[in-house]
Amino acid sequence: MLTQMRTHNCNELRLSDAGKRVKLVGWMENVREVGSSLAFVILRDFYGTTQVVVETPEMMEIISGLNKESTISVEGVVRERSSKNPKIDTGDIEVVPDNIEVLGKCIYNSLPFEINHSRDADESQRLKYRFLDLRNPDVKKNIILRCNVVSALRQSMTEHGFLEITTPILTASSPEGARDYLVPARKHPGKFYALPQAPQQFKQLLMTSGFDRYFQIAPCFRDEDARGDRSPGEFYQLDMEMAFATQEDVFAVLEDVLPPVFEKYGTYDISSPAPFRRIKYLDALEKYGSDKPDLRIDLTAKDISSLFTECEFEALRGKTVKAVDISNCTLTRKQIEKILTDCEVQSGSKGYWFRVDENGEITGGISKFAIPVRDKLAEVLDLSPNTLVVVAAGELAVKSVGVMIKFFGANCEGHMDKERYEFCWIVDFPMYEIGEESGELEFCHNPFSMPSGGLDVLLRAERGEIDPLEITADQYDLVVNGVELSSGAVRNHDPEIMIKAFEMVRLGEEDVKSKFPAMYNAFCYGAPPHAGIAPGIDRMVMLLAGEESIREIIPFPMNKNAQDLMMGAPSEVTEKQLKELNIRIDL
């Protein structure tokens, strides 16, 4: 079939096509000239590659004058290759051209990097020449994966009765937790729109408008620093909300939607079956040292603080002490020290160790301080032969032991089932916390989450019957393989409960009305109970592709400093543009 200037694509021809006259188009990936009238050309398009064999002086004259990565059209006859290449799908055939047309010249003799080895190039070069980087099939496949995953999610959400509704990009600035990107309003001097950090308020307003199930592949904009699993500037999420719904309803939908997508498109084809494990927030910290546990690792933390209240070692004496026992660990002393150093860099706290040798004796590291309490340690830890015990202590003990579980789990054979996707829900988050800077009660996470127990629990806290720090929220995180994929909550839809929740942090009704006027007003007209969640698309595809950096799965990513090196953004603008917007720059 004739499509886009060609009869076939570059991954389509097979031995059964020998003798056919065909027309191919694509990029000239490589040329190997053999004498004055013979050359082997590799032609590449979106779909794959085909070998073209030039055998006449006329065709050689055209090829010899072209640089690699020029685009050409090739017309000729398919024939069987004498020297087949089993590594490619078209390796049994080649095309002998009688007509070559140059469609687009590459004017440069040398490229910033070799296309098929672009992932080995400096990242700044890759980002500056992203259009070349994307020609690499290994890079392109991540973008194709992203497209397929988004398509599968859309189809599944539609099959589950959700309507895809787009929400505004230009909106009002709102205290969402990160910095807004602001857009000056030309017709309203001195005022600004904000790009949405998330469609949070709009999707809740849709619930008050009578829509039952909403979803959107939503762009979100946050002026925050980059991380390996977070891109600066913008990201996308599978945003969803359900009216007249509980936490259980949200869980049921995602437990039905996500596992098939992960099993079909993931690097691994095994995913947690429904229902996913549910772990209380405080239990996760106690057992795994993290609210993002990687359940592929079978290691857990144990509290041994009471055994070291009078220890001679000051780093342990009277401190919070957490330990992880790792059976059948064959790491050398040097390897253990290296991993502990890596853990210290990430957690900010020094770790310690001792081991039980093949004879059952405690040796190495801080064994001097462990031996006197061996019997009591054996009641808490596995001290069988060839067991390594790593220890964290002090104010950062919980965070430190969480990092230890992650690092040692990945490095000690037999303690991590890597080739699977292991989901879990983290539930019962604290509603409030004491602010590090203010020293006063503040919202811990989402201020619009419904407190577990509703108005009654807030009134009890107000009367002093319970500590506000004991109040939990109907909020939940979805975690897979130690990565937070999403946060969600049952929303606080009752104006009376909302006002009381904000009063706990010294904000009154007028503050709520002024900061969230549309949502508060809508709730006063009869709002349904509703709940939702928003798994990150970028982070999801990163996990499915098995990539360490989120930039590998974004078509045109920014660098770590939120710069688009290819387009030159952010850039300066003209004085005329600033004047139209009533803006003066004073650096």
What are 371-401's pLDDT values in tens digits? 999 999 999 999 999 999 999 999 999 999 9
d(CA 384, CA 326): 10
Residue 2: what pLDDT? Answer: 54
What value does the mean pLDDT take over residues 47-76? Answer: 95
SS3 110: coil
Question: Structure pTM?
Answer: 0.92
When mean pLDDT is compared across 96-105, 448-457, 508-517, the lowest value belongs to 508-517
Q: Which of 200, 148, 214 is nearest to 449 (CA)?
A: 200
Q: What is the mean pLDDT of the chain?
A: 94
- Quick check: 443 and 505 in contact, CB under 8 A? yes
Cα–Cα separations (whole angstroms), residue 17 to 36, 92, 280, 581: 29, 10, 61, 62
**Given pLDDT bands bounded at 50, 70 and 90, which one contains residue 231?**
confident
538: pLDDT strictly greater than 60:
yes
- Quick check: 194 and 528 in contact, CB under 8 A? no
Q: At what angle do helices 537-545 and 137-159 cross, to 10 degrees?
A: 120
Q: Where are the beta strands (DSSP E) in 176-232?
A: 182-184, 192-194, 213-222
Task: Indicate if the alpha-carbon torsion angle 338, 484, 471, 447 is positive or negative.
Answer: positive
d(CA 525, CA 187): 32
Yes or no: is domain 138-170+201-270+533-579 CATH 1.10.10.60?
Answer: no
Tokens of 510: 């007028």
Identify whether 275 is preceded by a cis peptide bond (ω within 30 of 0): yes
Q: List pLDDT tens digits, range 295-310.
A: 999 999 999 999 999 9
Residue 176: what pLDDT? Answer: 60
Question: Which CATH superfamily groups domain 15-104?
Answer: Nucleic acid-binding proteins (2.40.50.140)
Strand duo 163-164 + 432-434: pairing: unpaired
Q: List pLDDT tens digits, range 276-295.
A: 999 999 999 999 999 999 99
Residue 124: what pLDDT? Answer: 96
Beta bridge partners of 102: 72
d(CA 104, CA 451): 62
Alpha helices (runs of H) in 129-279, residue ranges in sequence order: 130-133, 137-159, 200-208, 247-265
CATH topology of domain 300-411: Gyrase A; domain 2 (3.30.1360)
Domain ranges of the chain: 15-104, 138-170+201-270+533-579, 300-411, 423-528
Residue 193: what pLDDT? Answer: 95
Q: For 458-474, give the DSSP string.
A: HHHHHTTSS-GGG-EEE
Tokens of 233: 């500037």
Phi, psi of 98 (to 5 degrees): -120, 0
Residue 3: what pLDDT? Answer: 67
441: pLDDT strictly greater than 80:
yes
Residue 283: what pLDDT? Answer: 97
Beta bridge partners of 363: 355
CB-based burial label for 67 (10 Å; 0-12, 13-18, 19+): middle
